Structure 1
Amino acid sequence: MTMWRREGDMRAAMGEKTVPRYKLIVMTNAVEGRADEFNHWYTNVHLADFLKLPGVVGAQRFARSEAQRSDGPFPWDYLAIYDCETDNIEGVIAELTAKAGTPEMPISDALVPERFVCFFEEMTDRLTVSDKG
């Protein structure tokens, strides 16, 4: 039998204080011919810089899969998802705005300037599947 489990229920049962949770979704492209440089910077420099921001608790990158449900078009080749847990998302945004492009958070010129950047606030607990055979 498959059982659905809500992660928020587990956190509450363990007595964890819950704060608002957000996902920052960033979709990007590399300058043509500079994907290796872009990916090295993003993975080895930018993610670490981002994790220094208060309220940012996780980060993960993805590359667009060749397998898709439709033929596209798909304007973005890369996706980064940042996990934020904070009572002050405006403060996280202000800190990001202040640091981006400075020596504390340099931005590579191998990054195409056009990108999709948007914060999303959690609406539901995350559901997971567990088999209780």
Structure 2
Amino acid sequence: MPQAKMVVYSSPSSPDREDEYNKWYNEIHLAEVCAMPGILSAVRFSMSEAQMVPGVTVAGHRYMAIYEVDAPDFTALLADMLARSQDGRFTMSDAIDMTANPPITLMFEPLAG
């Protein structure tokens, strides 16, 4: 059973690059992240038009990826992910917004009970 869920909210760098962003994320990025020790699987979602509060977003992001995580040290896993994105081990794309509205990465652990 996975120890945690890692949730990543992200956006394309511009509306005209949305297809490129989704192609890169689906075909390259997910596979590279899921190849890391401690990442079991991932699934992506786009925000539905149907919301409890119309127009609400997560910091303007419309895309979410949920990763199943089973790692002994979440801090080390996140540090390794950041290093891979900065040192070229991850194939990054300028189709993802890393400046104006960078991704939000959150780790969630199950509650006892």
TM bracket, shorter-chain basis:
0.7 to 0.9
Q: CA RMSD in A?
A: 1.7
2:6 paired residue number: 24
TM-score (norm 1): 0.73
Alignment map for 1:40-119 (pairs within 5 Å): 40-74=23-57, 75-113=60-98, 114-119=102-107
The aligned length equals 107
Unaligned runs of 5+ in 1: 1-17, 126-133
CA deviations on 1:41-91 (whole Å, 9 max, x unpaired) are 000000000011110001000011111111123211100001101222122
Q: Secondary structure at the match of 1:33?
A: helix
Render the CA deviation track for 1:98-133: whole Å, top value 9, x for unaligned.
Answer: 1113332022101111221111112157xxxxxxxx
In the alignment, is the contact (CA less than 8 A) between 1:53 and 1:95 conserved in 2?
A: no
Query: What's the % identity of the aligned pairs?
Result: 31
What residue identity is the alignment partner of 1:29?
S
Counterpart residue number, 1:37:
20
Of residues 92-101 and 42-51 in structure 1, the stretch that sits farther from structure 2 once superposed is 92-101
Q: Is contact 1:57-1:83 (8 Å) kept?
A: yes
User: Which secondary structure state, in structure 1, belongs to the residue aligned with residue 78 of structure 2?
Assistant: helix
